[in-house]
Amino acid sequence: MVESSIKTEEIDYGDEPKLKGFIAHPSDTKKKVPGVLIVHEWWGLDDYCRSRAKQLAGMGYCAMALDMYGGGKQTCHPKEAGAFMKESIKSFESACNRFHKALDILKNHSACDGSKIAAIGYCYGGMIVLNMAKKGYDLKGVASFHGSLTSHVKAKKGVCKAKVLVCNGKDDKMVPKESIAEFKREFDEAGIQYKFINYPGAIHGFTNPAATARGKEFGIAIAYNEAADKASWGELSNFLKEVFA
């Protein structure tokens, strides 16, 4: 699907602080299509997140890049990004509410089939979508890319409605082996269906082309990995077809 056949819109939603959203969907569809929520990295709702929404629209989905920080805040500095992230999860219930507001917006969008919604997240966003799945939100699937595996919601049997895909960099120092083992134990005990993939040679931020330069600038272990990016996107493509079938 060419970009000219994709419709995009910037929206404001929610209460104070006003949340920002970016929606992309096929402009020529005559029927409603499945929806995909996208939760940004700790950098905030930026052009990278918007580009993924347009990519998904090109695949025939109605995609919404949401705002977990409020006011569409974004940054390129890790110190500020860390502060934004910590503030957003200081009350995890508030974070859940922000996610749920975006879910309602997407479900009720004129281009979206509200009965078929998935969520994907990057870095911080990966942690968000995994916890939203455990909370039992009405999602067909969730996918995490180089996401934190920190648990803010205890997985319980019969609560999670979503299938789960985790795409992780095998050499990601920000996701230690102990965290992976704990994630698998928690999901196995709760009976949650998941697929966990480790990409050799990939580190944190492997899907974002801007990661390498930022890693060098600030001395942090993040870098783009083209092979892992393409392979993980292929996994997502197959995953979405499966959960929306």
Q: How confident is the model over 54-84, as pLDDT tens digits?
A: 999 999 999 999 999 999 999 999 999 999 9
Domains of the chain: 3-243 (3.40.50.1820)
Residue-wise pLDDT tens for the chain (245 aa)? 555 599 999 999 987 678 999 999 999 878 899 999 999 999 999 999 999 999 999 999 999 999 999 999 999 999 999 999 999 999 999 999 999 999 999 999 999 999 999 999 999 999 999 999 999 999 999 999 999 999 999 999 999 999 999 999 999 999 999 999 999 999 999 999 999 999 999 999 999 999 999 999 999 999 999 999 999 999 999 999 999 99
Task: Give which of 22, 42, 40 is closest to 85, Cα–Cα.
Answer: 42
pLDDT of residue 15: 78
- In angstroms, rounded to a whole number, what is the distance separating the alpha carbons of residues 192 and 237? 21
Can you tell me whether residue 15 is helix, strand or coil? coil
Can you tell me whether residue 235 is helix, strand or coil? helix
DSSP state of 51: H
Task: Give the tokens for residue 110.
Answer: 């004129």
Task: Give which of 189, 195, 169, 36 is closest to 107, Cα–Cα.
Answer: 36
pLDDT of residue 28: 83
Task: Give the tokens for residue 170.
Answer: 């095998």
Can you tell me whether residue 40 is helix, strand or coil? coil
- Count CB-CB contacts under 10 A for residue 4: 8
- In angstroms, rounded to a whole number, what is the distance separating the alpha carbons of residues 99 and 64? 11
- Count CB-CB contacts under 10 A for residue 15: 9
The DSSP bridge partners found for residue 134 are none
- Count CB-CB contacts under 10 A for residue 177: 7
- In angstroms, rounded to a whole number, what is the distance separating the alpha carbons of residues 27 and 190? 40
Task: Give which of 119, 235, 223 is closest to 169, Cα–Cα.
Answer: 223
Which residue, chain included where needed, has tokens 């990409």? 199
